[in-house]
Amino acid sequence: MAPIAETPTIDRAAVLLVEDMPALARLYIETLSKVGIAVDHAETGAEALAALAQGRYATVLLDLNLPDMNGMDILQHIRDQQIPVAPIVITAHGSVNTAVDAMRLGAFDFLVKPFPGDRLTVTVRNTLERMRLQREVDAWREDLGRDRYYGFIGRSPTMQAVYRIIDSAAASKATVFITGESGTGKELCAEAIHRRSPRRDQPFIALNCGAIPRDLMESEIFGHVKGAFTGAVADREGAAVRADGGTLFLDEICELPPELQTKLLRFLQTGQVTAVGGSRDRKVDLRIVCATNRDPAEEVRRGRFREDLYYRLLVIPVTLPPLREREDDVLLIARQFLHDYAAEEGKTFGDFDIEVAEDLQRYAWPGNVRQLQNVVRNIVVLHDGGRVSRAMLPSPVRSLIPAAQPSRPIELPPPMPSGATSPVRPLWMVEKETIEAAITACDGHVPRAAALLGISASTIYRKRLNWEAEGHD
**Predicted confidence (pLDDT) per residue in 376-392, tens digit:** 999 999 999 899 999 99
pLDDT at 11 (0 to 100): 41
Residue 225 confidence (pLDDT) above 50 = yes
pLDDT confidence band for 4 (50 / 70 / 90): very low
Confidence check: pLDDT of 94 > 70: no
Model confidence over 113-137: pLDDT tens digits? Answer: 888 888 899 999 888 888 887 777 6
Q: At residue 107, does pLDDT exceed 90? A: no
pLDDT band at 427 (very low <50, low <70, confident <90, very high): confident
CB 403 within 8 A of CB 368: no
Tell me whether the omega of the peptide bond preceding residue 114 falls within 30 degrees of 0, making it cis.
Answer: yes
pLDDT band at 13 (very low <50, low <70, confident <90, very high): very low
Rounded distance between C-alpha atoms, residue 63 and residue 76, angstroms: 14
Phi–psi pair at 141, nearest 5 degrees: -65, -40
How far is residue 267's CA from residue 257's CA, in Å, rounded to a whole number? 15
Q: Are 62 and 88 in contact (CB under 8 A)?
A: yes
User: Quick count: other Cβ atoms within 10 Å of Cβ 243?
Assistant: 26
pLDDT (tens digit per residue) in 143-170:
556 888 999 999 888 998 899 999 999 9
Give Dmax (Cα) for the chain: 96
Structural contact between residues 154 and 333, judged by C-beta atoms closer than 8 angstroms: yes
Going by the DSSP 8-state scheme, the letter that residue 445 receives in this structure is -
Question: Which of 77-91, 243-257, 417-431 shows the highest mean pLDDT?
Answer: 243-257
User: What DSSP line would sit under 306-345, residue for residue?
Assistant: -HHHHHHHTTEEEEPPPGGGSTTHHHHHHHHHHHHHHHHH
> Amino acid letter at 399?
S
Report the pLDDT value the prediction gives residue 7, as an integer from 0 to 100. 34
Number of H helices, E strands in the chain: 19, 19
| Long-range contacts, 310-313 (Cβ 8 Å, 24+) | 312/175, 312/265, 312/268, 312/269, 313/175, 313/177, 313/253, 313/268, 313/288
pLDDT score of 18 more than 60:
yes
231 Rama sector, left if φ>0, alpha if ψ -120 to 50, beta otherwise: left
Domains of the chain: 2-141 (3.40.50.2300), 153-227+234-321 (3.40.50.300), 324-398 (1.10.8.60), 427-469 (1.10.10)
What global pTM score does this model have? Answer: 0.60
pLDDT of residue 382: 95
pLDDT digits (tens, 9 = 90+) for 244-292: 999 999 999 999 999 999 999 999 999 999 898 888 889 999 999 999 9
